[in-house]
Structure 1
Amino acid sequence: MSTPVIIEAAINGVTAPERNPSVPRSPAEIAADAVRCLAAGAAIVHSHNAEFALDGARAAELYLEAWRPVLRERPDAILYPTAGAGATIADRYAHEVLLAEAGVLRMGLVDPGSVNLGGADELGLPLPMDYVYVNSYRDILHQVELCARYRLGPSVSIFEPGFLRVALAFQRARRMPRGALVKLYFGGDEGYLGGTGVTFGLPPTAPSLEAYLAMLEGCDLPWSVAVLGGDVIASGLARLALERGGHLRVGLEDHAGPRRPTNEELVREAAALARATGRRVASCAEAARILGLPQ
């Protein structure tokens, strides 16, 4: 029997209402959207606060305002935040500590590498900006140790192949905390911060997926696919992943294209595709069991 499909809904990210007016921004909007996505088949919901430059206490307060109504209705929901702002890795992950101590987290962040996540100009060339999403080896150790300390299943972001090599090193050394989900992020035609042209990572193609799966050979970590700056289903990547035993991430953080769908619509499309490939959709409780999330 095939493994049920875990669907993650990444419901906002840095997507502006100008790009899609359905993107939830306020805590009340995030809560309502998360509940709709869970009802449509999502087991995991990932959200950002509308403001980024917040200290850990304020960031945690806003996450709790959004998540507590969700957990009252769906106590089995798997919710997790993004990294925060701050000069040090402890600052950037202070909210995760507070959320874990508040008892609302079962999944934490592990971003095992650094990547350019910029936009593009009218020629499709990189914008002249200095921003790099940086995670040093010391930062990565902090993230892994935080997940271990608070018994959080790591959400392992793979923006580039080097990220996966680092993640696999932790797995081989038996240092990757229990409950990890490897998330293979492919770069779509639009940049994560907007514009069309240069982007990050591997393109959403069959050879790209096969390259990652070759790296994962012999490893029992579950994995999912997403297209940041594109459409994971329209690209054909979602079907390929489902046929190979993978899971799916969809949502307005990632989605780009001519359509203006809602998060709920994207989750329903992912669920329908899963069923069309002969796999049923995992409930929140089943997702926790598949991942082996600590209780």
Structure 2
Amino acid sequence: MTVLVFLDPAHDDGRIVDASQPQLMATDLGATRGDGLFESLLAVDGAPRKLEAHLSRLAASAAALELTVPDAGAWRRAISTGLREFTAAEPDRSSAVVKLLATRGVEGADQATAWVQVNPVPAATLAQREAGLRVLFLERGYDSTVAQRAPWLLMGAKTLSYAVNMAAVRHAKAHGADDVIFTSSDGKVLEGPTSTVLLAHDRDGQKTLMTPQLESGILAGTSQSALFAAAKEQGWELGYGPLEPHHLHEADAVWLISSIRLLAPVISLDGQELRTSATLTAELTELVDRFV
């Protein structure tokens, strides 16, 4: 079941289209050049989670791309339309993946193409939360300061140009792993292709939650940010890198977190088993369920 709702000025609440029929022009710059952006978020019981954070990040990505997209109100209305249609068609499903997509539009037209897509959460994604992830380190090919030196590389924007990210995941699967953590050419831990890296220490009753620093050119994680805010209220210390691979091997637990998969423990890195903590995972999962 896929629901598509195009943001159309002639339709205040969005225009529902048939997802089984072609909808995108072959000359759309999103298709021909990957020139566009997207956001993915989770909806539970018909309500989108962290919507304002995702809309804020979408606006930041649009600014980085110098791309004019519909305003937040138009996105909210189209999302409501898509979720209402999805719930009517799939009343037994409690959760859904909501994607917000915008491209630079048809070449020469100077008007963005924007739509909302609603799908069920894949069963494999749900399973990884329970089973954990076998992960490989892969070098991304940039040093950790490139985002500050070369903003045109759009390192902190969520663009449609995900071919490298998906190639990295395929490489991992071809080598017996589930996912990837990118590292910089100067040896810093960055992020997963579709996730943010977290690690924790529990020392003498003081729990510390850490993530790589944003200045290294990673995407600001909406789930990581919400979890950090909740963990701080529960007495956790917070840290923002810089992190190197040995920090993950030395941690009491490591996770990848994202808006759809949520919190998934990393059980091995490059074939080496990591320490895991059922207690810490349970505590953070509860915070994710309540606040993320």
Tell me the TM-score range normalised by the shorter chain. under 0.3
Q: Larger strand proportion, structure 1 or 2?
A: 2
TM-score (normalizing by structure 2): 0.25
TM-score (normalizing by structure 1): 0.25
Q: Which has the larger radius of gyration?
A: 2
Larger relative contact order (C-alpha < 8 A, sep ≥ 6)?
A: 1
